[in-house]
Amino acid sequence: MDSLTLIIAEQDGSTTSQELLELVSFARMLPGGGNPTIVLVGTARKDRAEKTAATTGCPVLALTGDHLGLYNPEAFCDAVLEALGDTEPAWICLAHTSTGVDLAPRLAVNLGATCITAVEGISGTTLTRAVCAGRYCADFTPSTACTVVTVLPGAFPPLPASTDTAGPVEHRAVSPGPCRSRTLGIAENTHRDSSLKDAEVIVSAGRGVGTRENISMIRELAGVFPRAAVGASRPVCDLGWLGYAHQVGSTGQTVSPKLYIACGISGAIQHLAGMRGSQLIIAINADPDAAIFRFAHYGIVEDLTTFLPILLEELRGG
Ligand SMILES: Cc1cc2nc3c(=O)[nH]c(=O)nc-3n(C[C@H](O)[C@H](O)[C@H](O)COP(=O)(O)OP(=O)(O)OC[C@H]3O[C@@H](n4cnc5c(N)ncnc54)[C@H](O)[C@@H]3O)c2cc1C
């Protein structure tokens, strides 16, 4: 392996094809990014490795082993370190998913590398990410030879799939090393609800809605549109105002409706990760500096409790 830039993805787990194509786009913007090598870690899935090489044109190294069936941070990290050998990549990129966020710092510590997470912008070697729940953006420049980066899903346009030439594929078996933990199982989140996925319009409630009773206004607004669903930020679900089936975000569902109306949602990266792919975003928030306005196509600076009743009245034709 002699690539300066590596992308780490899972064979069978949380890195989706879309996120992988976004990572390739991002990696090519890095100084010396060129044609990154994609390292797939998991159990032997020949089809995934060949398909990845064909759709990206990148070289693919598939690390396989029976012990890599379920994500385990120690086993996955050891597999990547074994594959690296004496190679010193300048950049190692992962998706900012639960796995990526778990694996990146472990790799960085082992490699003595800088670790920059949730990256959503790039200019040369300067990487940008949101801080303070999305209220500000911060720029970081690495100070080590190797940098491990996690990239926010949806932040970069995906590489158009299918290239003329498929990249070369290498399958390499890695042996299990001593592990202090064993992954017993990974269960699908039973809270997920298909109605959000299928909806063309999602009206989402954030903590700014204020009370459980005010959720009825969100339901009523959603009811105005055909094929609409009610979404929520995590605090709204944690408070029990809506069930977790409605949660949008990195630990909820990822949605991309035609219209997303965010009501009283601040725009934290974990929420944005689940909805920034929406075709049209309208945000209603009392704070003109709320981070959500940086991502919304239309912003309404209003108190929901006065604005929504008037809007609903208008929509009822009153
Ligand atoms: C590991 C991890 C995973 C997470 N996963 C998710 C996830 O999947 N989804 C998710 O949503 N969050 C997730 N979070 C939480 C996330 O970081 C934020 O805390 C959360 O998104 C904030 O929700 P919110 O915008 O509803 O609330 P707040 O950040 O409290 O924002 C409320 C907003 O409402 C506005 N407001 C207040 N009153 C009014 C009013 N009367 N009228 C109009 N606007 C008003 C305020 O100006 C503010 O902007 C996660 C956090 C962690 C650490």
Residues 6+ apart with CB under 8 A from 50: 60, 166, 169
Assess whether the C-beta atom of 271 lies below 6 angstroms from ligand 1. yes
- CATH code for the domain of 221: 3.40.50.1220
Same domain, 311 and 223: yes
pLDDT interval class at 135 (50, 70, 90): low
Task: Mark 105-120 as b/e (b = at least 16 C-beta within 10 Å).
Answer: bbbbeebebbbbbbbb
17 and 157 co-located in one domain: yes
Which of the listed residues 141, 173, 205 is the one where a domain comes to its end?
173
CA dihedral over 306, 230, 226, 253, signed as positive or negative: positive
Q: Is the CB of 153 under 6 A from ligand 1?
A: no
Residue count of the chain, please give it.
318
Q: 232: part of which helix (H) or strand (E)?
A: strand 228-232
24 and 169 in a single domain? The answer is yes
| pLDDT at res. 14 | 56
Cβ atoms of residues 264 and 208 within 8 Å: yes
Do residues 57 and 35 lie in contact, with contact meaning Cβ atoms separated by under 8 Å?
A: yes
What pLDDT, in 10s, does the model give residues 98-109? 889 999 999 999
Closest residue by Cα to residue 48 from 11, 4, 73, 90: 11
The residue with greater pLDDT, 204 or 269, is: 204
Asked if residue 215 belongs to a domain, the reply is yes
Instruction: Return the ligand 1 atom nearest residue 236 CA.
Output: 26
Q: Ligand 1 in contact with 96 (CB < 6 A)?
A: no
Helices 17-29 and 46-56, axial angle in degrees (round to 10): 40
Q: Are residues 24 and 145 in the same domain?
A: yes
Closest CA to ligand 1's atom 45: 208
Any ligand 1 atom below 6 A from CB of 207: yes
Last residue of a domain, one of 173, 206, 230: 173
Domain housing 220: 194-315
pTM across the whole model:
0.71
User: Is the C-beta atom of 44 inside 6 A of ligand 1?
Assistant: no
Residue 158 has pLDDT above 90, yes or no: no
pLDDT digits (tens, 9 = 90+) for 268-313: 988 988 898 899 999 999 999 999 999 999 999 999 999 999 999 9
The string of pLDDT tens digits covering residues 210-261 is 999 999 999 999 999 989 999 999 999 999 999 999 999 988 888 889 999 9
Give percent of the chain with pLDDT exceeding 70: 92
Is 231 within a domain? yes
User: Is there a single domain that holds both residue 169 and residue 205?
Assistant: no
- Is the CB of 300 within 6 Å of ligand 1? no
Q: Residue 143 pLDDT > 90, yes or no?
A: yes
Mutate to test the pocket of ligand 1, among 270, 287, 300 (most ligand atoms within 8 A of CB): 270
